[in-house]
Amino acid sequence: MKVLILDDIATNRKLLRAQLEAEGVTVLEASDGVEGLAELKRQKVDAAISDLLMPNMDGYRFCYEVRKSKEHRDLPIIIYTSTYTSPSDEKLSLKLGANKYLRKPASVVQILDALHNATTKKHVIPKAEFDERDVLKHYSERLISKLEEKNVELTQRNRELDQLNNKLAAEILERKSAEERLLEQADIINHARDAIIIRNFEDDQITFWNKGAENLYGWSANEALGEPIGKLIYADPKEHEEASRTLSPTGEFRGELRQVTKDGREVLVNGRSTIVRNPDGTPRSVLSINTDVTEQKKLEMQLLRAQRLESIGTLAGGVAHDLNNVLGPILMGAESLRSNATGEHAAAMISLIEQSARRGSSIVKQVLTFARGVEGERVLINPRHLIDEMVEIARKTFPKSIEVAGQYPEYPWSISGDPTQLHQVLLNLSTNARDAMANGGSLVLAAENLEVDDNYAAMMPGAKAGSYATLRVSDTGAGMPRALLEKIFEPFFTTKDPGKGTGLGLSTSLGIVKSHAGFISVYSEQGRGTTFKVFLPAVQADVAPPQKEIPPVIKGNGELVLLVDDETNIRRVTKMTLEKHNYHVLEANDGPEALAIFAQEMDSISVVLTDMRMPYIDGIALIRALKKMKPDMTFIGSTGQEDEPRLAELQELGVMNFLSKPYDTRKLLTVLESALSKQPAPLRKKVIPGAQDQNVAHSCAPVAT
605-611 sheet: strands from edge to edge: 584-588, 560-564, 605-611, 634-639, 657-660
Q: Calculate the CA 201 to chain-centre distance.
A: 26
Contacts of 63 (CB under 8 A, 6+ apart): 50, 77, 79, 93, 96, 97, 98
Least confidently predicted of 127-141, 411-425, 468-482, 613-627: 127-141
Specify the CATH class of 2-130 in words.
alpha beta
DSSP code, position 22:
T
In angstroms, the Cα distances linking 319 to 400, 499, 556 are 13, 20, 56
Please give the backbone phi and psi of residue 548, each rounded to the nearest 5 degrees, phi first.
-90, 145
| 680 class by beta-carbon count within 10 Å (0-12 exposed, 13-18 middle, 19+ buried) | exposed
Query: Distance between the two ends of the chain, CA-based, in angstroms?
Result: 83
Q: What is the mean pLDDT of residues 635-639?
A: 87
Per-residue pLDDT at 368 exceeds 60:
no
d(CA 589, CA 287): 46
pTM: predicted TM-score of the whole model, two decimal places: 0.42
Residue that wins the pLDDT comparison between 101 and 705:
101
Helix (H, G, I), strand (E, B) or coil at 259: strand
Q: Same CATH fold, 560-699 and 2-130?
A: yes
C-alpha dihedral (231, 234, 240, 243), degrees to nearest 10: -140
Residue that wins the pLDDT comparison between 237 and 322:
237
- Per the CB < 8 A criterion, the answer to whether 193 and 212 are in contact is yes
Q: For position 634, what pLDDT does the model report?
A: 92
Fold (topology level) of 560-699: Rossmann fold (3.40.50)
Would strands 402-407 and 441-452 be described as parallel, antiparallel, or unpaired? parallel
Give the Cβ contact number of residue 674 at 10 Å. 13
Q: Would you place residue 549 in the very low, low, confident or very high pLDDT band (cuts 50, 70, 90)?
A: very low
pLDDT tens for 220-250 read 988 888 888 888 888 777 778 878 877 878 8
Q: For position 352, what pLDDT does the model report?
A: 67
165: amino acid identity, one letter: N
Show me where the domains of the chain are located.
2-130, 195-292, 306-539, 560-699
H-state helical runs in 274-404: 294-314, 316-339, 346-372, 383-397
Fold (topology level) of 306-539: Heat Shock Protein 90 (3.30.565)
> In terms of residues, how long is the chain?
705
DSSP code, position 205:
B
d(CA 251, CA 699): 53
pLDDT tens for 403-461 read 999 999 988 999 988 887 788 788 888 888 888 898 889 999 999 998 888 877 777 77
Per-residue pLDDT at 204 exceeds 90:
no
Fold (topology level) of 195-292: Beta-Lactamase (3.30.450)
Q: Would you place residue 78 in the very low, low, confident or very high pLDDT band (cuts 50, 70, 90)?
A: very high
Give the E-state strand segments of 476-567 in sequence order. Answer: 519-525, 529-539, 560-564
534: number of CA atoms within 13 Å, CB side? 32
Highest mean pLDDT among 21-25, 53-57, 229-233: 21-25
Per-residue pLDDT at 675 exceeds 70:
yes
Per-residue pLDDT at 683 exceeds 60:
no
Q: Cα Rg for the chain, rounded, in angstroms?
A: 46
DSSP code, position 496:
S
d(CA 188, CA 191): 5
